[in-house]
Amino acid sequence: MKKHPFGNTDIQISPLGIGCTDNVEVIELLLDAGCNLLDTAQCYGAHEAFLGEHFRHRRDEFFLQSKCGHHEVLPDGSMRSLKITMADIDAALRKLRTDHLDAMLLHSYDLDALQRGDAIEVLQAAKAAGKIRFAGYSGDNERALFAARHGAFDVIETSISIADQTQIDTLLPLCREKGIGVVAKRPVANAAWRGFEDLKQVAAKASVYTQRLAEMNLYLPAFGFTDDNAGWSELALRFNLSLDGLHSSIIGTKNPAHARANLAVVEKGPLPPEVLQQIRDAFHRAEAASGRVWLGEN
């Protein structure tokens, strides 16, 4: 797979990355095909330990990024970002069985916690100690914009897809200007088109995307795509491949057939510019008609 510069890092990254999955076959086949971004997080159950156990022997083949500091739930039910220390970085290294991470990202870190600055200092100290190569932020909207402007972050992971386009207009230009590597989470919109017939087919968090896609009223045959899962997943991934300054899309799949289909789509490359523009227009038109602001979904 052809790789591209990852912002101002010295890394060449693949346009298709590997989201959280516990299917060894999926990760093996994606690595074999040249996907070289592996995403995990402290709060993804035992996923860091799983990657350490099964992929330590291929460690030099991929950019390994994890996340820490995700929310804790307080007694009154509210949530706040966990304070992080160097122990969080050390724990990730131990579980992942590696002597360094390529990037550690602050996971959906709240704006006030970011502004406090202590978590950023931990990342900088970890960088100076050679435990991480790059500092990152994972999140959306004003928090991601704060991170992009701050200057301490080399990598940002954020929601970008056919159903989540706002940050293409807000965050991507800033990241391009600053040379920040950008990774799209939820890049095929959680396959939310599966909910057109029955919302129970999609995860609860994806129902917003199903609603948006319905309101965008895209007619796939008009773009030369079939109106089925194959057509939708191709349109969604090629949409992300078309975006200037978006470096990698980390699809989460447990299904080897879907992983192979996604690899085949990457070979087709970006959408024709006029199709890209029609999908951008459909998003903006539907958002305006809805009377709501369609922010990046966490």
Ligand X SMILES: NC(=O)c1ccc[n+]([C@@H]2O[C@H](COP(=O)([O-])OP(=O)(O)OC[C@H]3O[C@@H](n4cnc5c(N)ncnc54)[C@H](OP(=O)(O)O)[C@@H]3O)[C@@H](O)[C@H]2O)c1
How far is Cα 154 from Cα 7, in angstroms, rounded to an integer?
8
Q: Which is nearer to ligand X, 149 or 254 (CB)?
A: 254
Q: Which is nearer to ligand X, 7 or 17 (CB)?
A: 17
Residues of this chain that interact with ligand X (CB under 6 A) are: 19-20, 39, 67, 107-108, 138, 157, 185-191, 229, 233, 250-255, 258, 261-262
- Give ∠ CA 172-188-89 in degrees, rounded to 5: 65
Q: Which is nearer to ligand X, 52 or 291 (CB)?
A: 52
Shortest distance in whole angstroms from residue 80 CB to ligand X: 15
Chain position carrying tokens 């940050």: 167
Shortest distance in whole angstroms from residue 240 CB to ligand X: 9
Q: Which is nearer to ligand X, 111 or 289 (CB)?
A: 111
Q: Which is nearer to ligand X, 157 or 287 (CB)?
A: 157
Shortest distance in whole angstroms from residue 291 CB to ligand X: 26
Does residue 125 contact residue 118 with C-beta atoms inside 8 Å?
no
Q: Which is nearer to ligand X, 75 or 250 (CB)?
A: 250
Joined together, the tokens standing for residue 214 give 């319905």
Shortest distance in whole angstroms from residue 229 CB to ligand X: 5
Shortest distance in whole angstroms from residue 288 CB to ligand X: 25
Residue nearest to ligand X (CB): 252
Residues near 89 by beta carbon (within 8 Å), at least 6 away in sequence: 68, 101, 104, 122, 126, 131, 132
Shortest distance in whole angstroms from residue 250 CB to ligand X: 5
| DSSP calls for 31-58 | HHTT--EEE--TTSTTHHHHHHHHHGGG
Shortest distance in whole angstroms from residue 185 CB to ligand X: 3
| DSSP calls for 145-210 | HHHHHHS--SEEEEE-BTTB-HHHHHHHHHHHHHT-EEEEESTTGGGGGGGTT-GGGS-GGGHHHH
Q: Which is nearer to ligand X, 47 or 288 (CB)?
A: 47
Shortest distance in whole angstroms from residue 138 CB to ligand X: 4
Q: Which is nearer to ligand X, 23 or 289 (CB)?
A: 23
Residues written for the chain: 298
Does residue 185 contact residue 176 with C-beta atoms inside 8 Å?
no
79-81/12-13 β-pairing: unpaired
How far is Cα 9 from Cα 13, in angstroms, rounded to an integer?
10
